[in-house]
Copies of this chain bind each other. A is one copy, B any other.
Amino acid sequence: MTLKTNLRKYRFLKDEMTQKQLADLVKVSRQTIHAIERGKFNPSVRLALLIAQVFQSPVEDIFYLE
């Protein structure tokens, strides 16, 4: 059961938001957003909730298990 994400897709859907813009909104570094997009790690549920809020979508739509 490994974590997958389509954060990248969501980021482009939402006004072509940049990694930096998203990072600023949820108050993490740009590298953190990058690492999450690349599946390098498994963010906290708090961060996932913040990201989901930005995209006004359920956490499950952005992060899922496979």
Contact = CB atoms under 8 A, between A and B. Distances in A.
Interface residues of A, number: 20
Contacts of A46: 1-3, 42, 63, 65
A36 to B, nearest CB: 9
A45 to B, nearest CB: 4
Contacts of A63: 45-46, 49
A13 B65 CA distance: 24
Contact of A45 (B1, B44, B53, B58): B44
Interface of A: 1-3, 42-50, 52-53, 58-60, 63-65
Contacts of A60: 49, 52, 58-59
